[in-house]
Chains A and B, each alone.
Chain A
Amino acid sequence: MNAVEVRSLSKVFNAGRPNAVDALVDIDLSIQPGEFVSLIGPSGCGKSTQLRLIANLTEPTTGEVLVNGKPARQARLDQDYGMAFQQAGLFDWRSVAKNIELPLELKGWDKIKRRSRALEMLELVKLSDFAEHMPWQLSGGMQQRVAIARALAAHPPLLLMDEPFGALDEMTREHMQAELLRICSETSTTVVFVTHSIPEAVYLSTRVVVMSPRPGRITDVIDVDLGARRDVETREADAFFKKITEVREALRGLAAADPSLEVEPALGVEDR
């Protein structure tokens, strides 16, 4: 059974009106359990919309989305996925631990079970000392880690992330990417990750889905075979830069893997 199955999906905003916009056209995508799939593309290519469709935060115009073999709506009702946004979106009036407990509270877990799960999650994101802190006392990176802990608190098999590190500085960002890979491998979570950073997509993913705008569609799917274990050295390996080049060219709509096009290593770090 696929973790996510998207079949001939399309989404039209303002359908039937003069200002109708084809946000997504004819999307097909299958994601296996344990995969880390990034959706990448310029602004307006519908990558966030696609994530929101998988999350059932909006309804498709045509086509269908299955999560864990269930219709997306049922999957949302069953809390089969956790979600993290660009803004950590923690509740100011709740302590860090209480924020992580939120999804469990909504599921009706009892207090003791909730608390022990929250502490377990805090250990996973290495913030055990901050359980009773208030969110505004934490740095941006720490807040985002709490948001990830919250998203994974109910141990969902799927994690949906919409540019979660977009507001962080480069150093924190690379650290968070490594942390995310560790967390996902420890919890064997499937991830769908929206980003517009090429190095981020390549470093994190087993597969990069390249999308183009107007109308939003998938133009390329690139397998990233950098191995399961990725660390600081991965970022400096030739294979890493080759993949970055491949994704960049796909984004430019060029024929992929033209050996005459070399990209300088320094370029691998830019792009936002």
Chain B
Amino acid sequence: MFVLALVLVAVAWELYKWLGPQDGGEVFGWKILPRANDLAMPHVWEMLSRYADPERRGSTSPIFFAVASGAWFTLRLALAGFAMGTLVGLGLAVLMARFKVVERGLLPYLVVSQTVPLIALAPLVVSWGGKLQIGGFEWPRWLSAAVMGAFLAFFPVAVGTLKGLTSAPPASMELMDSYAASWRQTLFKLRFPAAVPYMIPALKLAATASVIGVVVAEISTGLAGGIGRLIIEYARQATSDPAKVYTAVFGAAALGLLMVGIVAVADLRLMRNRPREAVE
């Protein structure tokens, strides 16, 4: 199905390119129809064939390798960001589930945190990190990008997990009370298992968000080696080689899919013994 959808998008793209106006079009005086010329909308096969071309004039390694190594670099940062974000999100959710006061005080700030523009925040994190000196530990540049990934990833995890942790049926909570179970026991034996169906979609959101966070951080802090840098670099060459930037963009999209795929595998494993309609 996914492949079919991909083909359909490609066909739609080519169809518009074929039918659409070369220099953009106007509808009721508004210039909204995008230009269909080769500069604005390169052919799909142009983009794909570009993967095999050398990255620079005179170099022998094809773009594919450049994108793949950029993606690998970014993937590791995104995974680090995802892991950090998930840990922080889980911690916050447990804290909020434990203390109502914390939920009331903290949740609005979490929402506010997500409205801060990432572009503005990224350089700040880099400069804070640069000033940080804990023993012999020196803050590496890549860590700032991973932190930006975590910054976007923790929010859905915190909110989704909080919702899940409070979703255990009252009768089950009462059962645990009747066993004189401690709060910790109730958390791990009842609340967390009951939260899993809520956590999976949250983790999927966090997985893509961590990729976005890392890519944006790479771009705005000028971190070299990742897919974000490639996007910027190739976009500068877009006037002469419009298809090139898409190779990097597709690379970033594939990263997001890969990250969600990792969560989906975890989902299958965790939910294999549950009734299908666990969340009503």
B-binding residues in A (CB < 8 A): 55, 57, 76-79, 81, 83, 85, 87, 89, 91-93, 95, 102-103, 105-106, 134, 136
Quick check: is B100 within 8 A (CB to CB) of the other chain? no
Q: Is the Cβ of A136 less than 8 Å from the Cβ of B275?
A: yes
Q: Is the Cβ of B172 less than 8 Å from the Cβ of A77?
A: no
A-binding residues in B (CB < 8 A): 169, 171-172, 174-181, 185, 189-190, 193, 196, 273-275, 278
- What residue of chain A has the Cβ atom nearest to residue B171's Cβ? A89
Q: Is the Cβ of B171 less than 8 Å from the Cβ of A76?
A: no
3 cross-chain pairs, A with B, having the tightest CB-CB distances, nearest first: A136-B275, A83-B178, A93-B193
With A106-B189, A134-B273 known as contacts, the answer to whether A89 contacts B180 (CB < 8 A) is: no
Residues of B within 8 A of A134 (CB): 273-275
Nearest CB of chain B from residue A50's CB, rounded to whole Å? 15
Per DSSP, chain B at the interface is helix
Q: Which of B174, B177, B185, B193 contacts A91 (CB 8 A)?
A: B193
Residues of B within 8 A of A89 (CB): 169, 171-172, 175
Question: A215 to B181, alpha carbons, bound, how many Å?
Answer: 33
Q: Which of B180, B273, B275 contacts A79 (CB 8 A)?
A: B180
Q: Which of A79, A91, A105 contacts B172 (CB 8 A)?
A: A91
With A85-B171, A87-B171 known as contacts, the answer to whether A55 contacts B178 (CB < 8 A) is: yes
Residues of B within 8 A of A95 (CB): 273
Nearest CB of chain B from residue A114's CB, rounded to whole Å? 13
Q: Which of A76, A83, A93, A105 contacts B175 (CB 8 A)?
A: A83
Nearest CB of chain A from residue B74's CB, rounded to whole Å? 35
Residues of B within 8 A of A57 (CB): 174, 177-178
Q: Is the Cβ of B175 less than 8 Å from the Cβ of A106?
A: no
Residues of B within 8 A of A81 (CB): 178
- What residue of chain B has the Cβ atom nearest to residue A150's Cβ? B175
Residues of A within 8 A of B278 (CB): 92
Nearest CB of chain B from residue A121's CB, rounded to whole Å? 15
Residues of A within 8 A of B275 (CB): 92, 134, 136
- What residue of chain B has the Cβ atom nearest to residue A134's Cβ? B273
Q: Is the Cβ of B189 less than 8 Å from the Cβ of A102?
A: yes
Question: A103 to B178, alpha carbons, bound, how many Å?
Answer: 10
- What residue of chain A has the Cβ atom nearest to residue B193's Cβ? A93
Residues of A within 8 A of B175 (CB): 83, 85, 89
Residue of B171, B175, B189, B273 contacting most chain A CB atoms (<10 Å): B175
7 contacts between A and B (CB under 8 A): A76-B178, A76-B180, A85-B175, A89-B175, A92-B274, A93-B193, A105-B189
Nearest CB of chain B from residue A234's CB, rounded to whole Å? 31
